[in-house]
Chains A and B, each alone.
Chain A
Amino acid sequence: MKLIVILSGGFMWVVGVGYKDGHRDPLGWNTKSDILQLGITMVKDVKTLQTYVIDGEITGESAGKIGRELLSDSVMQFFSFDRFDGDGGHVKNLVGRRNVWAVEVFFRPGVMDPVGLSVARAIGVLGIPGVKAVRTGTTYVIDGELGESEVKTICEKCLANALIQTYRYKRL
């Protein structure tokens, strides 16, 4: 799965943070109930990943350290990471079933991303130099017999506000 190109070129990593099995994913649970209320009842499950795109010349080892020490809570959450132009390794843990859609929602360019700013600052504090910027978004992994038009409706009515966010979806 390719991520939306929101930063100009360079060397980028993407880190996804989600909840381990057996731990409730509040945003996913909430999103599922919103989708059901839209009248789209075939949705079985929604899982979410907080997604961080890190723009900078860092090693895979550093990206792992960022995921482990900064972005995830090791008791309840897992993290995975991948190169920006990789094969979507950051969603790997959630895939393996059929009829799964992944939707990524990111802020439009120019929209302030305060969490991204804080993360970029914190990476510096961790002792990892070279990070230029971090953009945050959410990846929704939606399990259910859905067609493309339904996924589109879900994106527009529940997941993204077109005014400030863009979204992209893909059947996995």
Chain B
Amino acid sequence: MAKAIEILGKNEKELAEISRRFMLALNVQEMEKIQTYFKKLGRNPTDIELETFAQTWSEHCVHKTFAGVIEYGGKKINGLLKSYIIKATKDLALPWCVHVFEDNAGIVTFDGRHNIAVKVETHNHPSALDPYGGAGTGSGGVFRDVMGVGAKPILSTDILFFAPPDYPQSKLPPGVLHPKRLMKGVVAGIRDYGNRMGIPTANGGFGFHEGYVGNPLVYAGCLGIMPNDKYVRDPKPGDKIVLAGGRTGRDGIHGVTFASLELSAESEKTSSGAVQIGNAIEEKRVLDGLLAARDRHPKPLYSAVTDCGGGGLSSAIGEMGKKTGARVWLEKVPLKYEGLEPWEIWVSEAQERMILAVPEANVDEVLEIFRNENTEANAIGEFTSDRRLTLMFNDKIIGELGMEFLHEGIPRVERKAEFKARGTKDPDLADEKDFGESLKGILGSPTVASKEWVIRQYDHEVQAKTVIKPLQGFGGPGDACVLRPLYDEFGGIVVSNGYNPRFSGDPYRMALSAIDEAMRNNVCCGGRRIALLDNFSWGNPEKPDRLGALVEAVKACHDGSLGFRAPFISGKDSLYNEYGLGSNSKETISIPYTLVVTAVGIIPDIRKAVTMDLKEEGNPVYMVGETKDEMGGSHYYMIKRLEGGAIPGTEAAKARETMDSLTKAIDMSLVRACHDCSEGGLAVAAAEMCIAGDLGMKIDLRKVPQKGIRKNYKLLFSESNSRFLVEVGKAEEKEFEKIMGNSASKIGEVAAAKFIVTSLNGKEILNEKIDGLKKVWRGTFNW
């Protein structure tokens, strides 16, 4: 049963000790605020009440940093998210944004009858400890987010960051799993959850950097589709709280508060409760039940639905009953095994559970629906009108809190941020005579190399909606995936990603680059009317330099969103991604600042979608967009082990214009193949198109549109943004040029079997057989 925890009359130090002992991860200011609240009530809190605060006020649930006050450059920013990212979306005021930044997933319109729901989030810490279970439950969790707005998941997308797979065993910090083992486990976790549940994993990405050795990143995303009149979120007093799905055990207790702590060698011992293994089959049953409850009658049988994710019942019910009040009978929650304390039932993060608000008249029908799907559902409480959260166990009140204080009482954090720009002095190398070895070096580097080993494990065809698949032509790396969500129309959804942690030396430019990359990947396949999602994985925000970099990146999201006229519709942040190197040193290392931008576009007719594999010998090849002297963070400098150089900038408004022209050309079927230039620049994009088409290419660097570059290596490998490599039909040259204006320049043509490059002074500086390039590119992950 619940027991009281003495906090009245305790001093700062003692409060901090209580927070630590019960693993609440609440800081002293928060503990004091709670103390004051209970002082007014004239009693001590019970364990379950303190736990409720710990969950509801955790970084994971309320995003303290993004909502807090930040002092930066002499100014106070009043809420990063509101002041920048949401502000841009509001300023754009696009009519097709239906629900943004307010529910489990962002919702935009699709075709006038249906809406698209999409969500991406991270599952970094659990995946670091148990890659298989952590990544699997990450997928399961994000699927439930999409189910939690009433949509049916039709795509799983996963972006993963590890240290290089050949990282030396001897250099591994204690308590850390080897990156190769992590990667295998994570891929298996995503594979098993998606495949077993019948959701195609048809999009994703990888990044490799030494900085992830102690803290890998696992981003799981999901996209769903729903009839546009089926969204409800209006729990009424008297509605029953129905818990559907799996049983509750000790799984994942303190997972949320654990995510707000840094990883250490001790994590392995102290955090075992945070690790869970998902049951995809159970979630499939819950999904089927939910869809039946949504569709059996013209109106859904429930008045609100949400998933049980971080914080378990406490977060789900606390959030849903925010405006009404709720009363919960914890003894009615079905358990996996006996012996759980009531507070454990309340905060358990057992997977595959959903919470529904069901009007009393519909309860029996809803319970029957879930029973028919072979899964459990039980009424475990009801919504009230007293704006209080009342927790009962066997007819005894064991916790009673005001909803207002629970949700609004949290003291806003005030943090300081500072940022120092890094030097951009370029090493300016001498040119090579033959770039063959450098090109192969980049093609074989883990971020660029073929991920066929991974992709073949994922079922990307299930549900039969995947039109443009992850492997294109002869196994080439696709830019985006195109789905046809409804079998009776040709409209499609285009999903792509952008990220580049190698640019994190300049977080503002890094964030803009991520947006640009996500956008151009989407445009490559024919996407337009693009909505964006932001996902930050950052270091400890209590350290001013980390926070300063975060502010810079967030500002870039605002500017990029307006420049590209692409609204952010949902986002998430995972902070505290730092790790210690050993028990002696208190110093911790942050991961490279990582922002993943997911772009969701639509295409009116999927038959017009374009792939990146070269199609026909003799066709002209165009370079769209300007190449600049921007070698900072490039893969070329990485393989040469060099620092410095300018991180690529982005002229968003101009880029958007170019993209619009390209979209027009795609709609007119002028474009045969299109690929964006990202890691490895022009050279790698061209090589990938050749490999995918099993054809060659001849290009002349003198014809590449550029600004002030006199070195061949810069033209080949600069990673300037907003650039595309486009194969155009022979007969369509004129028309293509007319549409693209001066943003495109013909740089060569599709050839047979070889990739040949002519230098700025007319010499041949690259002449490689495609077979040879392919072998290197496919060799790295030949596991």
Contact = CB atoms under 8 A, between A and B. Distances in A.
B277 A112 contact: yes
B279 A114 contact: yes
A114 B184 CA distance: 19
Given A34-B180, A157-B178, A163-B272, A114 B249 contact: no
Contacts of B275: 111, 163-164
B181 A158 contact: yes
A149 interface: no
B783 interface: yes
B130 interface: yes
Given A111-B277, A114-B280, A163-B130, A30 B180 contact: no
Interface core residue of A33, A34, A38, A161 (most chain B CB under 10 Å): A161
A112 B277 CA distance: 6
B405 to A, nearest CB: 35
A110 B177 CA distance: 22
A157 B130 contact: no
Contact of B783 (A30, A39, A117): A30
A113 B783 CA distance: 27
24 contacts: A30-B184, A30-B783, A33-B783, A39-B169, A107-B277, A111-B275, A111-B277, A112-B278, A114-B278, A114-B281, A117-B279, A117-B281, A118-B281, A158-B181, A161-B130, A161-B177, A162-B268, A163-B129, A163-B130, A163-B268, A163-B272, A163-B275, A164-B272, A164-B275
A107 B572 CA distance: 32
B571 interface: no
Interface in B272-307: 272, 275-282
Contacts of A38: 169
Contact of A113 (B178, B268, B277): B277
B174 to A, nearest CB: 13
B60 interface: no
B130 A114 contact: no
Interface in A117-149: 117-118
Instruction: List the 4 closest pairs (A to B, CB-CB), nearest first.
Output: A114-B279, A112-B277, A164-B130, A163-B130
A149 B50 CA distance: 47
Contacts of A107: 277
A34 B184 CA distance: 11
Given A158-B181, A161-B131, A163-B275, 15 more contacts: A33-B783, A37-B180, A110-B250, A113-B277, A117-B282, A157-B178, A161-B132, A161-B185, A163-B129, A163-B130, A163-B268, A163-B272, A164-B130, A164-B133, A164-B275
B749 interface: no
A161 B249 CA distance: 21
Interface residues of A, number: 20
Interface size class of B (residues with CB under 8 A): 20 to 34
Interface string B164-188: 0000010000000110110011000
Interface string B476-513: 00000000000000000000000000000000000000
Contacts of A114: 277-282
B251 interface: yes
Nearest to A113: B277
A148 B133 CA distance: 29
A37 B132 CA distance: 21
Contacts of A39: 169
Contacts of B277: 107, 111-114, 164
Contacts, number: 53
Contacts of B276: 112
B180 A112 contact: no
Nearest to B782: A33
Interface of A: 30, 33-34, 37-39, 107, 110-114, 117-118, 157-158, 161-164
A106 B474 CA distance: 40
Contacts of A113: 277
B745 to A, nearest CB: 46
A163 B133 CA distance: 11
A107 B272 CA distance: 13
Contacts of B181: 34, 157-158
Contacts of B169: 38-39, 157
B264 to A, nearest CB: 14
A30 B183 CA distance: 13
Contacts of A157: 169, 178, 181
A86 B181 CA distance: 34
Contacts of A161: 129-132, 177, 185
Nearest to A164: B130
Interface string B348-366: 0001000000000000000
Contacts of A33: 783
Nearest to B177: A161
Contacts of B281: 114, 117-118
A127 B522 CA distance: 51
A107 B543 CA distance: 39
Contact of A112 (B131, B184, B251, B268): B251
A147 to B, nearest CB: 19
Of A33, A111, A158, chain B has the most CB atoms within 10 Å of the CB of A111
Contacts of A158: 181
A161 B272 CA distance: 11
B272 A112 contact: no
B144 to A, nearest CB: 16
A21 B633 CA distance: 50
Contacts of B131: 161
B454 to A, nearest CB: 13
Most buried by B among A37, A107, A114, A158: A114
Nearest to B272: A163
A110 B249 CA distance: 9
A92 to B, nearest CB: 29
A4 to B, nearest CB: 18
Contacts of A162: 268
A118 B177 CA distance: 29
Given A33-B783, A157-B178, A157-B181, A112 B279 contact: yes
A164 B181 CA distance: 15
Nearest to B165: A37
Contacts of A163: 129-130, 268, 272, 275
A141 B346 CA distance: 43
B126 to A, nearest CB: 10
Interface string B67-94: 0000000000000000000000000000
B312 to A, nearest CB: 15
A113 B282 CA distance: 12
A110 B280 CA distance: 18
Interface in B388-429: none
A113 B277 CA distance: 7
A113 B192 CA distance: 13
Contacts of A37: 180
